Structure formats: C-alpha cells, structure tokens
Structure 1
Amino acid sequence: MDVRVQTEDFDLGEVASSFSTGLDNAGAVVTFTGIVRDADAGDMLAMEIEHYPGMTQKALETITAEAIARWSLANALVIHRHGRLEPGAQIMMVATAARHRKDAFEAAEFLMDFLKSRAPFWKKEILKDGNADWVAAKDTDEQALKRW
C-alpha cells in the first residue's frame, strides 16, 4: 500500500510502471488519474486545495486499507495533490491490483468515490475575475458513495 499527499506533480507512466512491477499474483491493474477541470469553461484560473496533513494522510490510509481487505487486493496506491493547481493539472491517481479485473475496477471506483466525497480536502476555485468560490459537495457524489 502506498498513500501520498503531496504538492509535487507525478509522472503517470513512471508511477503506473513502478506500481505494476512484481505483481506476480495479480491478473489486473486499474489506474485512474483525475485532472483539474474548469467547470465553467474558461472562468477558472486555478484551484487551491487545502488539508490537515496528519488527518488527511490517516483518512486515506484507512480507506485504502479497507479497499485492500474488501477486494483482496495485491496492492493499492493513492496519490492526491494539494496546493495551487491550474486547469489541466493532475490532481490525483488511484491504482489497484487484484487477481481479477472486477475486483480491481470496483476497488478503484470505491477509492475514487471516497476521495471525491469524504477525503478531508477543501477546494477553492480561483476565478479569472478575481473572485474565489469554495467547491460545494454534490448530491451525485454522495449518491455514488452510497453504493458501497
């Protein structure tokens, strides 16, 4: 298990390759990378992501361990960035490895739904007009989490 909360960007190919190395008992590896998007098509300058380091790390480690146990994963990885990120920047990555693809996909979706709804990050959109808006929780994200 590897859980990282960081400001630095990551090399998707390098991380995925490293994650996949030595997984002799895994028949499937699933990766997902989240990208900062400008929801209002051109109005956002950047997104600022805040967190409490100890609390955030612990929460991500707990949910990743739960995913490993629930789907009998061979390995799992979560990377989530914080700080100021511009549209198009990588914001997070999830990777799961399991004997079967269904388990790898479900575990990855579980982790992504948690990161979207429950991970202790606070996001603020900095707009080009100088305004800043905190990103509110969405009902669709809560609904996605309920299936687990």
Structure 2
Amino acid sequence: MNAFSRRGACPALSAPMQTGDGLLVRLNPVAGGLTPKSLIGLGESALRHGNGIMEVTARGSLQIRGLTAESARLLAAEVDALGIAVRSGVPVDVGPLAGIDPQEVADPRPLAERIRVAIEEAGLTARLGPKVSVVVDGGGQLCLDA
C-alpha cells in the first residue's frame, strides 16, 4: 500500500486514494457477504481507523475516509479477520431483488456470474478502465435503468 491511487481510479482496501482528509478506501462485499455482526464490526473499524463515518456510494460500495497509511493497513486486516469477502475485478451488478422478484422476466444472477468469469478468463480486467461496470437487469419491480 505504498503507492496511492490516482484520481479517476477506484480506491480499494489494497489501493487507498489520497484525498483532502486523508486516505479513502471503498469496498464492495460479495452478495450475501455482510452479516449484521460483520457490518457492526466494519463500522467499529471505520470508527477506530478512519473518520468514523461509513458511507454507501452511488454505485453501492462502502466508503471509509480519513485513514492514514497505517490505519488503512489495520482496517484491511480487520476486514479480513471479519471474514468479509470483497469483490475484485470489474463490477457486474444485479438488482437487490434478483432471484426473488416474482415480476422479473428472468433471474439475472447466472448471466452476471458468466459475464464475471468471462471477463476474468479473457484477461480484460487490467485492460478496462477503472470506472467500467456491467449491470444485468432481469426486469421486475426495481429496474436498474439510469
């Protein structure tokens, strides 16, 4: 974590971004990756190591600000100890009701997983821009249109 991310990149636990109030990290837990206990633990870690505020970004990531290089390392270790699985690579998202919405045309989760695997196997993650994401919408009550 010696090299901090540049603006325009997506800060992660492994690559914090320097901001005016310290370092910023974002993490995007895998679907079902946060239990109430792990969410409480993450909030406590944000309080101990950052400015104490954990935000949800427009793209659904959890954001913690006000970190130092040392506290960012400690936060990453605590996230690991909490067993929070964090997504890496190109985000491929589905709606929050995917698979349980009776009005959706199809469950988008299998297609989203196939897209994730195809991107990884093709080696595209490193070649795509840091802000690239894919949304697979199965229709239904909560459409993911812009």
TM-score by length of 1: 0.30
TM-score by length of 2: 0.31
Decide which structure has greater helix share. 1
